C-alpha cells in the first residue's frame, strides 16, 4: 500500500485572478448552480444500504424535488452512489464504472462499510477504505443511513457543487499514480482498465506531478491494446 495519505491533500486549484468586474464570474456561477440542480445518479447497489434508496427516490422522500434522478448508464450519470460494502470483485467493476463516467463526476459512499469496512472489517473479501481506490466526495455513515440522511448528504453535495468544492474527480487525475498503486496492490500488477486515464488527464489539462509514477510505469509495461470482444451467436 502506498504510504501517502491523500485524505488531507487538497486539489491544487489554479489561482483565480481577482477581477474587478462583478459580472466576470456570473457565467461560472450559473454553470455550477445548474450543475447542482440537475444531477443524474447512478446507484451502484453493492451492499444492503441500497434498500434505503427506493424510499429516498419515490414519493415519500422524493429526491426528484431536488433535481436528482436515477440514470441507467454510467456515461450519462453525474453521481456514483456506492451503497454498501464493496467486495474486491465488486471494486473492480466500481472502478470500471467510475472511469467511464464523464467529468465532472461525484462519488458518495453510503454506509459505514465504505468508510472502514463496517461490520466486515475482518473479512478477506471486502475492500476497506473506498477512497483509496477512487476519490470520494462525501461519506454518509450509518448501518444503514436512513433516507433522511441520504437526502441530507445529497443536499450537502449540492452545496459543495454550487461553491465549486466538489473536486474529487480532479484528484483522480492529479494523483492517478496513488490510486492505481492501491488498485494494483489488490488486483495484481496486470491490472488495466479500458479507459486511458493518463490521456484524459492530458486532455483536461489536469496532469500533475503525481499523475505519473512507479505504478503507471508498471501499467505501461503490461498494458495491452484493447481487442474487440469475440462475437458469438
Give how many residues touch other proteins by CB under 8 A.
Answer: 23
Selected binder of ligand SF4 within 36, 42, 84, 211 (CB under 6 A): 84
Interaction between residue 144 and ligand SF4 (CB under 6 A): yes
Selected binder of ligand SF4 within 42, 81, 113, 166 (CB under 6 A): 113
Q: Residue 11 binds which entry of ligand SF4, other proteins, none, with Cβ cut-offs from 5 to 8 Å by kind?
A: none
CA dist., res. 113 & res. 47, Å (int)? 9
Contact 215, 177 (CB under 8 A): yes
Q: Which is nearer to ligand SF4, 83 or 97 (CB)?
A: 83
Separation in Å, CA 62 to CA 40, 51, 82, 124, 208: 14, 15, 19, 37, 40
In angstroms, how far is CA 140 from the centroid of its own chain? 14
Q: Which is nearer to ligand SF4, 85 or 176 (CB)?
A: 85
In angstroms, how far is CA 86 from the centroid of its own chain? 14
Q: Which is nearer to other proteins, 27 or 124 (CB)?
A: 124
Interaction between residue 121 and other proteins (CB under 8 A): yes
Selected binder of ligand SF4 within 91, 95, 108, 111 (CB under 6 A): 111
What stretches of 142-209 show up as alpha helix (H) in DSSP?
Answer: 147-162, 168-174, 176-187, 197-203
Amino acid at each position: 500500500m502506498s504510504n501517502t495519505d491523500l485524505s488531507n491533500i487538497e486539489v491544487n486549484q489554479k489561482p483565480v485572478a481577482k477581477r474587478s468586474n462583478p459580472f466576470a464570474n456570473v457565467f461560472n456561477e450559473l454553470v455550477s448552480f445548474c450543475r447542482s440542480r440537475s444531477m443524474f445518479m447512478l446507484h451502484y447497489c453493492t451492499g444492503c444500504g441500497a434498500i434505503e434508496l427506493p424510499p429516498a427516490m419515490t414519493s415519500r422522500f422524493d429526491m426528484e424535488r431536488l433535481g436528482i434522478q436515477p440514470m441507467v448508464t454510467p456515461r450519462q450519470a453525474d453521481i456514483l452512489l456506492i451503497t454498501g460494502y464493496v467486495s474486491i470483485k465488486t471494486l473492480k467493476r466500481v472502478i470500471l464504472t467510475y472511469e467511464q463516467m464523464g467529468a465532472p463526476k461525484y462519488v458518495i459512499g453510503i454506509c459505514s462499510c465504505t468508510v472502514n469496512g463496517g461490520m466486515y472489517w475482518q473479512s478477506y473479501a471486502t475492500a476497506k477504505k473506498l477512497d483509496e481506490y477512487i476519490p470520494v466526495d462525501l461519506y454518509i455513515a450509518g448501518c444503514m443511513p436512513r433516507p433522511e440522511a441520504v437526502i441530507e448528504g445529497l443536499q450537502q453535495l449540492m452545496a459543495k457543487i454550487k461553491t465549486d468544492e466538489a473536486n474529487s474527480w480532479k484528484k483522480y487525475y492529479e494523483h492517478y499514480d496513488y490510486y492505481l498503486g492501491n488498485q494494483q496492490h489488490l488486483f495484481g500488477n496486470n491490472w488495466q482498465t479500458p479507459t486511458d486515464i493518463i490521456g484524459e488527464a492530458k486532455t483536461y489539462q489536469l496532469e500533475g506531478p503525481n499523475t505519473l509514477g512507479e505504478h503507471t510505469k508498471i501499467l505501461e509495461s503490461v498494458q495491452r491494446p484493447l481487442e474487440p470482444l469475440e462475437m458469438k451467436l
